[in-house]
Amino acid sequence: MRTLGISGLSVTMPHKEAVADAVDRLDPAARSLHSVNTVSWDGDQLVGSSTDGAGFVASLADADVSVDDAKIAIIGAGGAARSVIDALARAGASDITVLNRTADKTEAAAALTPVASPGIISDVTRADIVVNATSVGMGDDGSLPCDPDLFRAGQVVADLIYHPLETRWMAAASRQGCQTVDGLGMLVHQAALQQKIWLGDDAVIDTAAMRAAAMRSLS
């Protein structure tokens, strides 16, 4: 970026942590996660930001789902789950339960915020919002992150996967009377937030056009 005069950079796995070490300073989310997906300039300093989690919260808002004071169950404890946990806590979630098979990863993810704690799979039933932040169900994988019988009508069930756009798990949630939110919204909104960082808060970003373009690419 310095040598070539590049104005902005988007970072994907497996480079997010390495870039966090390379920039001059980090925004609060990137500092908490030690993960960067966006690099921008502030004067002569390179700033690392993380828009992944905020993109997920924005995708929920786009679906008229509020996270303020919500009880949320997160399935998974990897990088995607951690970004979502951090952003949901910043957005006002009152209780976040982390569900994962590996105890040390679960505890590390739950330690990101005082409102998060390790849980058990039956905690899905009491949650207002249930999030699959694993790769279970991606592509041709027909596996389910949890038993759909745990769902209850009126819950919001969100999947970070966007290929396929409706996973088998989401289809089962719909049949149980849940509102579902697909993973494409997070992809679109995290990119829109990147554009705001690079171009300024006054930049007009057409997320509907971005989603339409992404859907064309997926098809």
**Residue 217 has what pLDDT?**
93
**pTM metric for this prediction:** 0.94
| Domain residue limits at 30 | 1-51+193-209
70/180 Cα distance (integer angstroms)? 16
- Of 196, 195, 194, 169, the C-alpha closest to 182 is 169
Tell me 121's DSSP state.
G
Is 71 among the catalytic positions? Answer: no
User: Does residue 158 sit in helix, strand or coil?
Assistant: strand
For residues 46 and 62, membership in a common domain is answered with no
For residues 169 and 94, membership in a common domain is answered with yes
Helix (H) or strand (E) holding 46: strand 45-49
For residue 178, name the pLDDT band (cuts at 50, 70, 90): very high
**Residue 24 has what pLDDT?**
97
**Any domain includes 217:** no
Which amino acid, residue 183?
Answer: G
Is it the case that residue 149 has pLDDT exceeding 90? yes
Is it the case that residue 107 has pLDDT exceeding 90? yes
**Residue 13 has what pLDDT?**
87
CATH (domain of 37):
3.40.50.10860
User: Does residue 95 sit in helix, strand or coil?
Assistant: strand
Residue 23 token pair: 């920039």
Can you tell me which residue has the tokens 């951690």?
82
Report pLDDT digits (tens) over 64-102. 999 999 999 999 999 999 999 999 999 999 999 999 999
> Across residues 163-177, what is the average pLDDT?
96
- Of 59, 106, 119, 112, the C-alpha closest to 78 is 106
CATH (domain of 74):
3.40.50.720
For residues 77 and 175, membership in a common domain is answered with yes
Q: Considering the candidates 16, 71, 105, 196, report the single residue annotated as catalytic.
A: 16
User: Is the Cα dihedral 96, 99, 100, 103 positive or negative?
Assistant: positive
Q: What percent of the chain has pLDDT over 70?
A: 100
**Any domain includes 214:** no
**Any domain includes 174:** yes
Report pLDDT digits (tens) over 3-61. 999 999 999 989 999 999 999 999 999 999 999 999 999 999 999 999 999 999 999 99
The total domain count for the chain is 2
- DSSP letters of 123-153? GGGG-SEEEE-SSTT-TT----SS-GGG--T
For residue 170, name the pLDDT band (cuts at 50, 70, 90): very high
**Any domain includes 167:** yes
